[in-house]
Amino acid sequence: MTSTKTIKRNFSEEDFESALVKAVGNRKNFAIISHPDAGKTTLTEKLLLYGGAIQQAGAVKARGEQRKVTSDWMDLEKQRGISITSTVLQFDYSDNKINLLDTPGHQDFSEDTYRTLAAADNAVMLEDAAKGLEPQTRKLFEVCRMRNIPIFTFINKMDRPGQEPLRLLDEIESELNLATWAVNWPIGSGELFRGVIDRSSKEVILFTRGERGKQSEECHLSLNDPELKSLVESELLDQALEELDLLEMAGSVMDLSKIQAGELTPVFFGSAMTNFGVRPFLDTFLKMAQGPSARPSSNGPVSPTRSEFSGFVFKLQANMDPKHRDRIAFLRVCSGRFEKDMTVQHARTGKAIKLSRPQKLFGQDREVVDDAYPGDIIGLNNPGMFAIGDTLYQGSKVEYEGIPCFSPEIFSWLRNPNPSAFKNFRKGVNQLREEGAVQILYDVDESKRDPILAAVGQLQLEVVQHRLENEYGVATRLESMGYQVARWVDGGWNALDDIGRIFNCKVVKDAWARPVLLFKNQWNLNQLLEEHPDLELRSVAPVVSGVEPISL
């Protein structure tokens, strides 16, 4: 057992324990879930500004712009001007180390976002006050719900005309079945937005329409301050107070245990662009958010303060730098202390691996990292040995629950018109599947050897084709299958045998040889369920561990 010795180098036993407890205590990580355009880039930028991670507003965008111009990484990103991959941003704020797990901007890549959410301890649900809940946010919310992580809601763009605040809360409660607790309450909206009332301090934080993008000074006044009357129209203040009374009487009560169980969402009203309400949001978030907590594994929950290192891979990214043809595995540290050059066990294969040159990623920038603690994300060079969901550990064996495959909505045959390129075609398809760039399904008829690409968005398929051509030198053809809905069958092939022939449905198998039913539409699926009410179908594939997937 080299583990404990290696981990504790530079530390006495006691110092190590206390350094670990301290590091776990001051770490918080979160991902932002939102629909495109709700203001995620803007909010991220403002949060980083408070953490001193970037010097000027606009830097996140500027970084993006710069990348589009100068980097040759992922041509398609450049051509389309979209952000496809997720990155990680770490910053310090009032003695806390905060990891923001950034997610792709384009909704066709929500699978990547789903996986990133598997590594997040908290989620920030960002809504546009005028639009309320939007489709992408709803989908991502479902993933958070599966893991019961705390969700903090930031209702953005209050400086613009929006929906009634009570209606926005009601929408979250009724449609997501998630109780809400407003941390602050808006006074007016749009042109008449005057600020918010902080519910616990009973102070008014006044909104000043500063210069765009500039950090506005926060002015706090007590609700009893006589000056308030000259600054806020009495009818706007009265209406806000009436609504607050209503919330006090009929709304949920603040309950930290419910927040941390993902049953109650604290709601903040603000405006990221004008930097209004962002700092109070960050302060409250840090008080209420869940720190790195025990994670389920094959041996029961593993505490982050377990002295031996463990973590899991939640995302793979190839060719971030095509000059080096590199592949990066993103690992979330779950317990103990990660140290550069440490030797760990790879749970799936049982091999020992030395982790040299681990990297900390900040957007597209990378630096070599010497150590990392639970809640942190590191990038590992991955010459093909890691797959999504893999556990790495030191000491006694742990294996974390894998990451489920989410329901694809687009299905295409992937044809290789050039048989002499089959070797590369196979290599590319297998590697892209391993990386999770796309799900691969297979026809049950073994004579039909072409794989089926199953994706959440069309662009995901285009990226696969593009990468097959650029990275593996094979030009492929996509042939749409016209199906839109996929379901996994509880009880597997036996359950299917029991019900006999199914109409209006194609049965295929996934990479673990499990049956997957494809339907042209929801109606066909409902019809099957009506005819066979005992059939249990799932939209998310159960996790498989300990079995190697089928390769092409």
Question: Which spans of this chain sit near ligand G4P (rule: CB under 6 A)?
Answer: 34, 36-42, 105, 156-157, 159-160, 271-274
What is the β-pairing status of strands 343-346 and 352-354? antiparallel
Q: For residue 406, which of 455, 460, 458 has the smallest C-alpha distance?
A: 455
Q: How many CB atoms lie within 10 A of CB 45?
A: 25
* Angstrom distance (rounded) from CA 208 to CA 249: 31
Handedness of CA 54, 56, 59, 60 (dihedral sign): positive
Q: Tokens for 410, please give them.
A: 């687009």
Q: For residue 204, which of 193, 215, 213 has the smallest C-alpha distance?
A: 193
- All residues at 6 or more sequence positions from 500 whose CB lies less than 8 Å from its CB, including other chains: none
Q: Tokens for 432, please give them.
A: 């892209």
Q: For residue 114, which of 126, 104, 100 has the smallest C-alpha distance?
A: 104
* Minimum distance, C-beta of residue 199 to ligand G4P, in the bound complex (Å): 21
* Minimum distance, C-beta of residue 204 to ligand G4P, in the bound complex (Å): 19
CB of 149 closer than 8 Å to CB of 119? no
* Minimum distance, C-beta of residue 129 to ligand G4P, in the bound complex (Å): 9
Considering the complex, state which of residue 137 and residue 430 has its C-beta at the smaller distance from ligand G4P. Answer: 137
* Minimum distance, C-beta of residue 125 to ligand G4P, in the bound complex (Å): 12
* Angstrom distance (rounded) from CA 186 to CA 198: 9
* Minimum distance, C-beta of residue 158 to ligand G4P, in the bound complex (Å): 7
* Minimum distance, C-beta of residue 160 to ligand G4P, in the bound complex (Å): 5
* Minimum distance, C-beta of residue 274 to ligand G4P, in the bound complex (Å): 6
Considering the complex, state which of residue 278 and residue 453 has its C-beta at the smaller distance from ligand G4P. Answer: 278
DSSP 430-480: HHHHHHTSSEEEEESSTT--S-EEEESSHHHHHHHHHHHHHHH----EEEE
Considering the complex, state which of residue 36 and residue 384 has its C-beta at the smaller distance from ligand G4P. Answer: 36
Q: Tokens for 295, please give them.
A: 């994670």
Q: For residue 121, which of 376, 356, 339 has the smallest C-alpha distance?
A: 376
* Angstrom distance (rounded) from CA 125 to CA 139: 11
Considering the complex, state which of residue 273 and residue 342 has its C-beta at the smaller distance from ligand G4P. Answer: 273
Q: Tokens for 85, please give them.
A: 């991959």
The structure tokens 């036996």 sit at 494
Q: For residue 114, which of 439, 510, 441 has the smallest C-alpha distance?
A: 439
* Minimum distance, C-beta of residue 36 to ligand G4P, in the bound complex (Å): 4
Considering the complex, state which of residue 105 and residue 336 has its C-beta at the smaller distance from ligand G4P. Answer: 105
* Minimum distance, C-beta of residue 33 to ligand G4P, in the bound complex (Å): 10
CB of 84 closer than 8 Å to CB of 109? yes
Considering the complex, state which of residue 83 and residue 99 has its C-beta at the smaller distance from ligand G4P. Answer: 83
Considering the complex, state which of residue 158 and residue 264 has its C-beta at the smaller distance from ligand G4P. Answer: 158
* Minimum distance, C-beta of residue 22 to ligand G4P, in the bound complex (Å): 34
Considering the complex, state which of residue 29 and residue 271 has its C-beta at the smaller distance from ligand G4P. Answer: 271
Considering the complex, state which of residue 276 and residue 425 has its C-beta at the smaller distance from ligand G4P. Answer: 276
What is the β-pairing status of strands 343-346 and 391-393? antiparallel
Considering the complex, state which of residue 107 and residue 319 has its C-beta at the smaller distance from ligand G4P. Answer: 107
Considering the complex, state which of residue 47 and residue 197 has its C-beta at the smaller distance from ligand G4P. Answer: 47
**DSSP classification of residue 297:** B
* Minimum distance, C-beta of residue 130 to ligand G4P, in the bound complex (Å): 9
The structure tokens 């309450």 sit at 185
